A and B are shown apart, each in its own frame.
Chain A
């Protein structure tokens, strides 16, 4: 077990409003991210007040996007997110992760 090779990657997580989810996913693809996981219907509270999506148009609803990618790609995304997501409810952050199949990310 301890002999297993360790491959370091970055995980980028984006909590964003449901309305821009498709745009965010396209942005990730264009940046070279090969895959992602979406957790829809997430609720919370932040600078834009309560975001629990409890209304008709669903524009107050959030989604969580998780993707694992190379460090350079992740850093570029983090940098570009400031301009890209400026007017929207969004939280972007990076974490260090280790993966077993580096060719997947």
Chain B
């Protein structure tokens, strides 16, 4: 099995996506002027989320099973509870203030869509399939962690938004942010149109997917490295947290995914979801709800440390373990 992990990890490191990510990071590291225009980066994100949502919906078009509903509910609970683990770990092992630990916890309970997409392509390249409702599990995991983060912060004496208008704004941000609308909307469209309808858009949303993902990861490499460069020095304990917490999340995902009877690919993807940390939706929500938490901390940990770790090492590792669990 260690040999499996090494070969999977090697194959992952040499995939065009991971190499594009590394190229972007290198460009930012040497302060190249390589820069994606904002509109293109946003357009790529919209494409990826719509495409992955629709693919999931098409896969489920055969009919929603009770298995799917149970798995989606479990995913929601995991997202709700993972911030508690992260919070406890941060408070015990680092010097993070309570409000920072609550905000960081919310990030680690929630998910990174790009990490999920990268993992799904990693599996597809190996001929591994996964249940279509994994996409719905991902969409469900975006929000509960935010609620738990706010509860943890309140327990530590930090109130949420002060005015009713700010509270409304926060919930609009949390429930209807662009990625949720695209994922859920794409999922429903795929579910409605099924395979025959999908065939019409497959040349664009399916066949071009890997190439566009390369472009997107190139940009993410730049963004992640810039975040790392701009950040104040992180303590070794915090960096350690950003590497250990994904492993804890992955272990939870591997265990529950197997218990739920997911396919090997499904278990690996669920583990990846539990291991990943949000760096788009949750930062925006935390900035509104917990302004006293330091954004440089949560952004740098999730985007600068955990995201590259999962893309380079986490995904092949979780896949290898999922494969070993169910030969």
User: A residues bordering B, Cβ < 8 Å?
Assistant: 17, 19-20, 22-23, 26, 41, 49-50, 54-60, 87-88
**In the complex, residue of chain A having the shortest beta-carbon distance to the beta carbon of B293:** A87
Determine if A57 and B288 form an interchain contact, defined as CB atoms under 8 angstroms apart. Answer: no
With a 10 A CB-CB cut-off, give which of A41, A54, A56, A59 has the most chain B CB atoms: A56
Complex CA–CA separation, A22 to B169 (angstroms): 8
Within 8 A of A (CB), among B236-287: 279-281, 283-284, 287
> Would A55 and B226 be within 8 Å (CB), given that A20-B288, A87-B291, A87-B292 are in contact?
yes
Task: Give chain B residues whose Cβ lies under 8 Å from the Cβ of A22.
Answer: 169
Determine if B303 and A50 form an interchain contact, defined as CB atoms under 8 angstroms apart. Answer: no
Determine if A50 and B280 form an interchain contact, defined as CB atoms under 8 angstroms apart. Answer: no
Determine if B280 and A19 form an interchain contact, defined as CB atoms under 8 angstroms apart. Answer: no
**In the complex, residue of chain A having the shortest beta-carbon distance to the beta carbon of B232:** A49
Task: Give chain B residues whose Cβ lies under 8 Å from the Cβ of A54.
Answer: 223, 226, 230
Determine if A57 and B279 form an interchain contact, defined as CB atoms under 8 angstroms apart. Answer: yes
Kindly identify which residue among A19, A23, A49, A57 contacts B163, using a CB–CB cutoff of 8 Å. A23
**In the complex, residue of chain A having the shortest beta-carbon distance to the beta carbon of B222:** A54
**In the complex, residue of chain B having the shortest beta-carbon distance to the beta carbon of A30:** B165
Complex CA–CA separation, A19 to B230 (angstroms): 20
B220 at interface (Cβ–Cβ under 8 A)? yes
User: B residues bordering A, Cβ < 8 Å?
Assistant: 38, 163, 165-166, 169, 220, 223, 226-227, 230, 279-281, 283-284, 287-288, 291-292, 295-296, 299, 303
> Would A57 and B283 be within 8 Å (CB), given that A50-B230, A87-B292 are in contact?
yes
Complex CA–CA separation, A50 to B299 (angstroms): 14
> Would A57 and B291 be within 8 Å (CB), given that A22-B169, A26-B165, A50-B230 are in contact?
no
The main secondary structure of chain B at its interface with chain A is helix
Task: Give chain B residues whose Cβ lies under 8 Å from the Cβ of A50.
Answer: 230
Determine if A55 and B288 form an interchain contact, defined as CB atoms under 8 angstroms apart. Answer: no
Determine if A57 and B165 form an interchain contact, defined as CB atoms under 8 angstroms apart. Answer: no
Chosen A-B contacts, 8 in total, with CB atoms closer than 8 Å, are A17-B287, A50-B230, A55-B279, A57-B280, A57-B281, A57-B283, A59-B287, A88-B291
Determine if B220 and A56 form an interchain contact, defined as CB atoms under 8 angstroms apart. Answer: yes
With a 10 A CB-CB cut-off, give which of A23, A57, A58 has the most chain B CB atoms: A57
Determine if A55 and B299 form an interchain contact, defined as CB atoms under 8 angstroms apart. Answer: yes
Closest 7 pairs between A and B when the two form their complex, measured CB to CB:
A87-B291, A57-B283, A19-B287, A59-B287, A57-B280, A59-B283, A26-B165
Task: Give chain A residues whose Cβ lies under 8 Å from the Cβ of B220.
Answer: 56
**In the complex, residue of chain A having the shortest beta-carbon distance to the beta carbon of B114:** A56
Task: Give chain B residues whose Cβ lies under 8 Å from the Cβ of A58.
Answer: 284
Task: Give chain A residues whose Cβ lies under 8 Å from the Cβ of B299.
Answer: 55, 57, 59-60
Determine if B284 and A59 form an interchain contact, defined as CB atoms under 8 angstroms apart. Answer: yes
Kindly identify which residue among A23, A41, A56, A59 contacts B295, using a CB–CB cutoff of 8 Å. A59
**In the complex, residue of chain A having the shortest beta-carbon distance to the beta carbon of B219:** A56
**In the complex, residue of chain A having the shortest beta-carbon distance to the beta carbon of B290:** A87
**Nearest chain A CB to B70's CB is how many angstroms away?**
32
Determine if A55 and B284 form an interchain contact, defined as CB atoms under 8 angstroms apart. Answer: no
**Nearest chain A CB to B23's CB is how many angstroms away?**
18
**In the complex, residue of chain A having the shortest beta-carbon distance to the beta carbon of B286:** A59
Task: Give chain A residues whose Cβ lies under 8 Å from the Cβ of B226.
Answer: 54-55
Task: Give chain B residues whose Cβ lies under 8 Å from the Cβ of A55.
Answer: 223, 226-227, 279, 299, 303
